[in-house]
């Protein structure tokens, strides 16, 4: 009985060992690391408190991208409170790319906002693209809310 147990144990160890080593030493595919070149702020980002804002039509939030050689350009447009101060941050982990549009107005000191709605645009430009697939998530940080909002989650080609 003990001899049968030892034989089964040895076979079990061999099978598990074989299965663990059967990946031919290959690593999971990873996407090229992108470098953030810059973000161009447009739309209502060009106006600050005290400026006379143009009469703007409310537009739908939008996301698009363009690839040219090793450059990936991601365009984001959002409708938001006028005069809000924004910064755009990005981070990459493997093939996941995250863009955070961060409203930096300090709450409860809401003197940075104007009493209107405006369309803001952000063109975030990366270099180092090499025909890889990326899972893009674009988030909005609104200091008046307790959680960040996921605006889009898409796959770039």
pLDDT tens for each residue of 115-136: 888 899 999 999 999 888 999 9
pLDDT tens for each residue of 139-153: 999 998 999 999 999
Report which DSSP code applies to 31. Answer: P
Q: Within a 13 Å sphere around the CA of 156, how many CA atoms are in the beta-carbon half?
A: 25
pLDDT tens for each residue of 68-93: 999 999 999 999 998 899 999 999 99
* Stated pTM of the model: 0.76
What average pLDDT score do residues 10-30 get? Answer: 53
């Amino acid at each position: 009985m003990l001899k049968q147990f030892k034989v089964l144990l040895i076979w079990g160890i061999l099978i598990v060992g074989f299965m663990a080593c059967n990946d031919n030493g290959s690593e999971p595919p990873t996407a090229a690391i992108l470098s953030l070149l810059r973000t161009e702020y447009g739309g209502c980002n060009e106006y600050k408190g005290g400026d006379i804002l143009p009469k703007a039509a409310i537009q739908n939030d939008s996301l698009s991208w363009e690839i040219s050689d090793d450059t990936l350009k991601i365009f984001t447009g959002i409708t938001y409170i006028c005069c809000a101060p924004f910064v755009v941050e990005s981070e990459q982990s493997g093939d996941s790319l995250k863009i955070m549009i961060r409203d930096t107005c300090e709450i409860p000191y809401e003197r940075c906002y104007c009493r209107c709605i405006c369309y803001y645009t952000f063109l975030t430009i990366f270099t180092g693209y090499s025909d890889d697939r990326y899972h893009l998530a674009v988030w909005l940080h609104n200091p008046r809310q307790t959680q960040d909002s996921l605006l889009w989650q898409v796959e770039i080609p």
